[in-house]
């Protein structure tokens, strides 16, 4: 880029005249101060001839480009010297440094190249010199023209280059380099590109194998002495592990995908397009809008575009160079009043330029004159010329010459017409311009922008401003004349139109091609769909919907921006087909109930199908779809297949009817009986299946026919049977009915209930088991050996293994009880002994009660003192009378104890023995062995007893075993004839709930919601019936017969244990242990 800015300095004219005065000055040695030169020493020599004294009249100099951009160097200086010599040496003076540039011819403008300058303000002088010899001495005169200009920093153009490309396969070695072209003549600090990958600095160039993925490179340079900071257009390298769609990026300059050259003043339309998702447009590395219509200065510009990679596309880039040449300015000379005047007329000659950047230079007969030149000239012919020097954006130019004739010849009239009009005109691009010139003289020449054209000329001119002029040259009889008009060619408005093939209304699946065309090939239409740029033409198969296509073009050199009428492309949803079949037939079907039917549906396109049965969804998912159904109810089933539709397809529907008939009754099979463990043979479950849904009725009996009905319609059946008799054979029949009352019965079948108790041990238990207690994960058994003299023992079991705990010095283990968290055992017959189990499993004999027969019962009673509210724990032993006649004692202990002295007599009752203790309604009750005396004793509080609370059982002798069933029910069992189970809600009023002939008296047991007791039938010695109550002692039933007398109960491990003595022969008995089933 070059621009001429004239800085013309007219030196003081130095004239040396050959006069006597001047000769006198030279005749003596003297010195004079000569304006523009300085002090000159003149030696006293002989006066030289006048013609030998040279002249240096003036020096003019101009610097090309001001201010000067660093990268546009080297610049040039133009020098013009006038004087009396043929040529002059030209020097560049900077301070004390003088550099010879060359020689300039007299009166001729000569250009010289300047050296490179650093950024900043620069000053120098251009010196023109002249040497001559005076009296044998070489003398020099010179003129200096000072010049100052500014050198500004250049914006560098950084470029990133990737080899082998921006999209490579995994494992490929890539080399990425950032560089800037630098001229070797530049001086000072230059540009050092800084390459970065993912924001981190890497070597430049970087040669590496990148991992699969997207890698973003950027490049910057810092400001240096001569260059500004800069940023390169980014570059992304995609390393593909799998295939991606490559992209193509295109850069166009004025619609052409190639390097272009235009002239200054012509608009440059820069645009970028891509097959990827988006593209960025850059000018000399700086992002600009896409597209852009720019008026650029003369120079060389880098136009690039970059498409960033995404998940579906690779990155790509494109680049072209745009050279903007200097424009040729239009110069024209006008003469007023006319180009031919008579002597004495004042004339005005002016040269004008088409651009304000141009400074026209007007000469008359080769001599520079002011512009305009206003003068009254003598008779003659005057040739005017006009030129301009090269500037940053314009070339040097020359106007058509003009001649001013001052004489008495016949004047001429020159006329210029544009399309027949003698005036300035305006037309549109594409309209022809008919240019013509006429004259009253002999001949006329027609010019267009200073260039000779044919007269007339019919031309189609590009848009812009045109100078149309004509010149008539003078001859012997006529004077010269000229004329000029301006022609403005406006940009034309292009016509854009959008067309869709095959139509602007199609069905989904139809390929469409939308094209935008322009009325001129100079216009590049830009097509968009829903405001997003697409290719032109745009071929696609679009989803259903409405799409708005628009087309625009940007302003070009000859055409204005334009827009087409939008086109609405409507893509309607397609209608798919759907089928439904029953067992492969696309028709209605009739089947018998229980028949397997396959319902299948196929959709003609990809999509989800929903199958329904009587409007209830039975299957849903991708087509094809099938589901198997087995109807279990007679009737009509309607099967529908439906597709809900989606963005591209409308909904679809198909239907079939299935008639289900039922002429067969359900059949039950596979019946089996499961005993309910732990129910003592009284409960179980009957299980069976039917070949279709059915309700059921079970008839079952051993002596009395019973039935139970299950109204649930199903195929899998189970029915619990309650209140069965243990160890009994039951018969049953199952009746199955469907919803249409089709019924069938099974054949009669049987099942047997197990016994209530099973024998688990009949050895090692001496003569019998008469006491049991569950404690700390084991069951403890107390035996007896009466009438043998063998000692009794305590045996324990975990439910599977047995061990002897201790052999006591007595024949009965009468009772167990837990006191203070420890297990105690009471013995009897010879005398009462109290044993305690220690933490290590050993047993201690704590007390021997020598006056008592035995220890029948052990209890712990917690009582709150009504006065002190202190919680008192009482420990009670219920004794049998020994040596004290018909009275029995209740012993107690409050504090620590361990011997006979620790136990006090709490109460003495009129009874043979204290059989049992129980706590009922926070009162302690004792069941007595009455022997005709009182049979119930109670303790109201710590200070007051209620001796003889119930004075007598009307059934005479009674051995009372008490059981607190719950907070409102107290039970007791009595022995001797007649035996009884009784219940009471207050311990005062008693109700017989069972009576029978019995002499047994055993403890009662509460297990879960049931109570258990026993009674020995009259007339038998060692045969006892086990009774169960499910209603809190209100009613009792016999569930088991045990070979033995005086059985005892305990609950352990979720089972009921029963201990007894079994008769082996009239003189031998054996201890046995039973467990509930």
User: What CATH number should be reported for the domain holding residue 558?
Assistant: 2.60.40.10
CA distances for 110 relative to 77, 195, 364, angstroms: 8, 46, 20
Q: Is 246 helix (H, G, I), strand (E, B) or coil?
A: coil
Q: Which residues contact 1030 (CB under 8 A, 6 or more apart)?
A: 1009, 1010
DSSP state of 248: -
Q: Give the pLDDT score at 250.
A: 93
Strands in 16-136 per DSSP E: 30-34, 38-42, 56-64, 68-69, 76-83, 87-94, 97-105, 110-113, 120-134
Spatial CA neighbour of 825 closest among 850, 857, 849:
857
Average pLDDT, consecutive stretches of 10 residues, N- to C-terminus, the chain (1077 residues): 32 28 31 31 32 55 60 79 80 88 82 82 86 79 84 86 85 89 61 91 92 88 88 84 74 93 90 89 92 91 87 81 91 90 91 91 93 92 92 90 82 91 94 94 90 94 92 80 91 95 95 95 93 93 94 92 95 94 94 91 94 94 94 90 93 94 86 86 92 90 84 91 90 90 91 90 91 96 79 94 93 91 88 90 87 84 77 83 63 54 70 82 78 47 42 52 80 62 74 64 81 76 80 85 84 92 73 90
Q: Give the pLDDT score at 135.
A: 78
User: Number of folded domains in the chain?
Assistant: 8
Q: What is the largest CA-CA distance in the chain?
A: 194
Q: Which residues contact 649 (CB under 8 A, 6 or more apart)?
A: 508, 544, 573, 574, 575, 576, 605, 607, 643
| Type and span of the H or E element at 23 | helix 20-27
Whether residues 133 and 222 fall in one domain: no
CA distances for 515 relative to 217, 533, 556, 820, 1037, angstroms: 37, 13, 21, 104, 102
Query: How many residues in the chain?
Result: 1077
- DSSP lists the bridge partners of residue 1048 as 1059
The vertex-506 CA angle with 503 and 509, nearest 5°, equals: 125
Question: With left for phi above 0 and alpha for psi between -120 and 50, is residue 839 left, alpha or beta?
Answer: alpha
CA distances for 638 relative to 63, 440, 820, 1044, angstroms: 99, 107, 76, 72
Burial (0-12, 13-18, 19+ Cβ within 10 Å), 293? middle
DSSP state of 26: H
Select from 292, 325, 358 the last residue of a domain: 325
Q: Give the pLDDT score at 951.
A: 40
Whether residues 279 and 196 fall in one domain: no
Domain annotation covers residue 748: no
- Per-residue exposure over 715-752, b if at least 16 CB sit within 10 Å of its own CB, e if not: eebebebeebbbbeebebbbbbbbbeebebebeeeebe
Count of beta carbons in the 10 Å neighbourhood of residue 358: 22
Report the distance separating Cα 618 and Cα 611, nearest Å: 6
Whether residues 187 and 281 fall in one domain: no
Strands in 969-1044 per DSSP E: 969-974, 979-984, 991-996, 1005-1007, 1010-1015, 1024-1029, 1037-1042
Whether residues 1063 and 987 fall in one domain: yes
Q: Give the pLDDT score at 942.
A: 37
Count of beta carbons in the 10 Å neighbourhood of residue 32: 11
Q: Which residues contact 80 (CB under 8 A, 6 or more apart)?
A: 59, 60, 61, 104, 107, 108, 109, 110
Cα radius of gyration (the chain): 66
Whether residues 561 and 594 fall in one domain: no
Whether residues 645 and 674 fall in one domain: no
383, 473 contact by CB (below 8 A) = no
Domain annotation covers residue 749: no
161, 182 contact by CB (below 8 A) = no
Spatial CA neighbour of 783 closest among 829, 742, 740, 748:
829
891, 905 contact by CB (below 8 A) = yes
Spatial CA neighbour of 365 closest among 391, 385, 338:
385
- DSSP lists the bridge partners of residue 387 as 361, 398
The vertex-215 CA angle with 209 and 220, nearest 5°, equals: 105
Report the distance separating Cα 121 and Cα 810, nearest Å: 134
Q: Give the pLDDT score at 55.
A: 60
Interstrand relation of 340-341 and 402-406 (parallel, antiparallel or unpaired): parallel
Query: Residue 867 sits in a domain of what CATH number?
Result: 2.130.10.10
Residue holding tokens 């024998």?
759
Q: Which residues contact 417 (CB under 8 A, 6 or more apart)?
A: 434, 435, 436, 437, 438
User: What strand order describes the sheet that includes 414-418?
Assistant: 414-418, 433-439, 457-459
Report the distance separating Cα 145 and Cα 93, nearest Å: 10
Report the distance separating Cα 716 and Cα 947, nearest Å: 63
Q: Which residues contact 448 (CB under 8 A, 6 or more apart)?
A: 435, 457, 459, 466, 467, 468
983, 970 contact by CB (below 8 A) = yes
Domain annotation covers residue 74: yes
Residue holding tokens 């059915």?
694
Domain annotation covers residue 585: yes
Spatial CA neighbour of 487 closest among 552, 419, 437:
419
| Type and span of the H or E element at 24 | helix 20-27
Q: Which residues contact 66 (CB under 8 A, 6 or more apart)?
A: 3, 5, 149, 150
Domain annotation covers residue 299: yes
Whether residues 361 and 435 fall in one domain: yes
Look up the domain containing 690 and give its range.
Answer: 668-742
Q: Which tokens go with 862?
A: 């917690």
Domain annotation covers residue 718: yes
Spatial CA neighbour of 798 closest among 769, 760, 829:
760
Whether residues 565 and 583 fall in one domain: no
Q: SS3 string of 669-707?
A: EEEEEEECCCCCCCCEEEEEEEEEEEEEEEEEECCCCEE
Whether residues 940 and 1041 fall in one domain: yes
Q: Give the pLDDT score at 1.
A: 38
Q: Which residues contact 325 (CB under 8 A, 6 or more apart)?
A: 261, 262, 263, 264, 298
Q: Which residues contact 750 (CB under 8 A, 6 or more apart)?
A: 729, 730, 731, 732
Domain annotation covers residue 751: no
Q: Give the pLDDT score at 661.
A: 85
Q: Give the pLDDT score at 415.
A: 94
Whether residues 289 and 349 fall in one domain: no
Q: Which tokens go with 664?
A: 């067969």
Select from 490, 506, 540 the last residue of a domain: 490
Phi, psi of 587 (to 5 degrees): -160, 170
Mean model confidence pLDDT for the chain: 82
Q: Give the pLDDT score at 291.
A: 94
Report the distance separating Cα 219 and Cα 199, nearest Å: 10
Q: Give the pLDDT score at 550.
A: 96
Question: With left for phi above 0 and alpha for psi between -120 and 50, is residue 184 left, alpha or beta?
Answer: alpha
Q: Give the pLDDT score at 340.
A: 82
Select from 490, 516, 547 the last residue of a domain: 490
CA atoms within 13 Å, Cβ hemisphere of 46: 5
Whether residues 785 and 838 fall in one domain: yes
Spatial CA neighbour of 960 closest among 940, 981, 946:
981
Q: Give the pLDDT score at 56.
A: 65
Whether residues 847 and 901 fall in one domain: yes
Q: Which residues contact 1035 (CB under 8 A, 6 or more apart)?
A: 993, 994, 1029
């Amino acid at each position: 880029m070059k621009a001429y800015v004239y800085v013309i300095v007219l030196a003081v004219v130095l004239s040396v005249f050959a006069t006597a005065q001047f000769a006198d000055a030279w005749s003596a040695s003297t010195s004079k101060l000569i304006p523009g030169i300085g002090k000159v020493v003149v030696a006293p020599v002989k006066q030289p001839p006048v013609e030998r004294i040279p002249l240096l009249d003036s020096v003019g100099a101009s610097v090309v480009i001001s201010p000067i951009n660093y990268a546009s160097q080297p610049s040039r200086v133009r020098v013009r010297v006038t004087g009396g010599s043929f040529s002059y040496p030209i020097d560049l003076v900077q301070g004390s440094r003088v550099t010879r540039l060359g020689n300039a011819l007299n009166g001729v403008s000569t250009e010289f190249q300047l050296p490179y300058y650093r950024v900043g303000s620069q000053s120098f002088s251009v010196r023109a010199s002249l040497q001559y010899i005076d009296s044998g001495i070489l003398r020099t005169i010179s003129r200096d023209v000072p010049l100052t200009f500014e050198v500004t920093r250049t914006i560098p153009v950084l470029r990133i280059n990737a080899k082998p490309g921006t999209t490579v396969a995994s494992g490929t070695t890539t080399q990425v380099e950032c560089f800037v072209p630098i001229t070797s003549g530049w001086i000072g600090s230059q540009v050092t590109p800084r390459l970065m990958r993912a924001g981190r600095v890497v070597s430049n160039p970087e040669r590496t194998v990148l991992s699969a993925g997207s890698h973003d490179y950027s490049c910057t340079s810092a400001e240096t002495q001569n260059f500004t900071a800069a940023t390169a257009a980014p570059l992304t390298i995609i390393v593909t592990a799998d295939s991606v769609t490559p992209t193509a990026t295109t850069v166009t300059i004025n619609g052409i995908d190639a390097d272009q050259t235009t002239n200054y003043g012509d608009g440059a339309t820069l645009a970028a397009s891509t097959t990827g998702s988006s593209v960025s447009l850059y000018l000399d590395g700086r992002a600009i809008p896409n597209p852009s219509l720019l008026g650029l200065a003369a120079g060389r510009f880098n136009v690039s575009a970059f498409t960033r990679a995404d998940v579906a596309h690779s990155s790509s880039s494109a680049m072209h160079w745009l050279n903007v040449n200097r424009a040729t300015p239009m110069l024209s000379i006008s003469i007023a009043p006319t180009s031919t005047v008579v002597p004495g007329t004042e004339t005005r000659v002016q040269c004008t330029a088409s651009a304000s950047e141009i400074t026209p230079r007007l000469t008359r007969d080769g001599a520079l004159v002011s512009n305009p030149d206003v003068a009254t000239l003598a008779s003659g012919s005057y040739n005017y010329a006009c030129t301009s020097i090269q500037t940053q954006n314009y070339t040097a130019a020359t106007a058509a010459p003009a001649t001013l004739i001052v004489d008495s010849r016949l004047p001429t009239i020159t006329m210029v017409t544009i399309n027949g009009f003698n005036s300035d005109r305006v037309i549109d691009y594409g309209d022809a311009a008919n240019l013509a010139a006429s004259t009253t003289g002999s001949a006329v020449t027609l010019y267009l922008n200073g260039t000779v054209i044919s007269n007339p000329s019919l031309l189609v001119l590009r848009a812009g401003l045109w100078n149309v002029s004509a010149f008539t040259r003078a001859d012997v009889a006529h004077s010269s004349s000229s004329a000029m008009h301006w022609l403005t060619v406006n940009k034309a408005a292009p016509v854009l139109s959008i067309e869709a093939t095959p139509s602007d209304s199609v069905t989904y699946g139809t390929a469409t091609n939308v094209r935008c065309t322009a009325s001129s090939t100079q216009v590049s239409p830009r097509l968009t769909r829903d405001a997003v740029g697409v290719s032109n033409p745009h071929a696609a198969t679009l989803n259903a919907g409405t799409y708005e296509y628009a087309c625009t073009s940007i302003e070009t050199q000859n055409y204005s921006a334009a827009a087409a009428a939008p086109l609405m492309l409507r893509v309607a949803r397609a209608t798919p087909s759907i089928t439904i079949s029953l067992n492969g037939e696309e028709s209605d079907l009739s089947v018998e109930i229980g028949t397997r039917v396959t319902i299948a549906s196929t959709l003609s396109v990809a999509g989800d199908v929903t199958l329904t049965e009587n409007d209830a969804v039975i299957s849903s998912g991708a087509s094809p779809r099938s589901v198997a159904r087995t109807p279990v109810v007679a009737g009509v089933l309607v099967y529908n297949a439906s597709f809900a539709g989606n963005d591209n397809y409308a909904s679809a529907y198909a239907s079939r009817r299935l008639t289900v008939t039922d002429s067969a009754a359900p059949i039950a099979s596979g019946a089996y009986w499961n005993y309910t463990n732990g129910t003592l043979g009284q409960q179980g479950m009957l299980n069976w299946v039917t070949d279709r849904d059915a309700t059921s009725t079970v008839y079952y009996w051993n002596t009395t026919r019973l039935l139970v009905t299950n109204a649930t319609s199903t195929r899998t059946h189970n029915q619990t049977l309650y209140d069965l008799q243990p160890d009994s054979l039951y018969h049953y029949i199952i009746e199955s009915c469907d919803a249409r009352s089709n019924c069938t019965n099974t054949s009669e079948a049987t099942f047997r209930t197990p016994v209530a108790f099973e024998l688990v041990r009949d050895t090692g238990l001496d003569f019998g088991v008469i006491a049991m207690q569950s404690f700390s994960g084991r069951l403890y058994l107390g035996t007896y050996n009466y009438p043998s003299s063998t000692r009794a023992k305590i045996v324990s079991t975990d439910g599977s293994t047995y061990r002897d705990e201790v052999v006591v010095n007595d024949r009965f283990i009468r009772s167990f009880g837990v006191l203070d968290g420890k297990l105690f055992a009471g013995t009897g017959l010879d005398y009462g002994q109290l044993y305690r189990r220690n933490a290590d499993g050993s047993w201690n004999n704590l007390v021997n009660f020598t006056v008592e027969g035995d220890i029948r019962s052990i209890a712990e009673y917690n009582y709150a003192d009504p006065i002190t509210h202190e919680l008192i724990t009482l420990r009670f032993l219920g004794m049998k009378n020994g040596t004290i006649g018909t009275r029995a004692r209740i012993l107690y202990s409050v504090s620590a104890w361990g011997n006979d002295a620790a136990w006090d007599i709490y109460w003495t009752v009129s009874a043979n023995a204290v059989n049992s203790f129980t706590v009922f309604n926070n009162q302690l009750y004792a069941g007595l062995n009455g022997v005709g005396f009182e049979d119930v004793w109670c303790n109201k509080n710590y200070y007051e007893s209620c001796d003889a609370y119930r004075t007598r059982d009307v059934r005479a002798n009674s051995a009372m075993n008490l059981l607190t069933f719950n907070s409102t029910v107290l039970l007791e069992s009595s022995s001797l004839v007649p035996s009884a189970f009784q219940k009471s809600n207050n311990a005062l009023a008693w109700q017989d709930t069972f009576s029978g002939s019995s002499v047994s008296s055993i403890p009662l047991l509460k297990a879960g919601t049931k109570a258990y007791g026993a009674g020995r039938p009259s007339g038998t010695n060692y045969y006892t019936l086990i009774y169960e109550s499910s209603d809190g002692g209100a009613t009792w039933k016999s569930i088991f017969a045990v070979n033995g007398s005086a059985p005892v109960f305990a609950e352990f491990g979720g089972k009921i244990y029963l201990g007894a003595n079994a008769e082996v022969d009239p003189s031998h008995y054996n201890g046995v242990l039973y467990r509930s089933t």
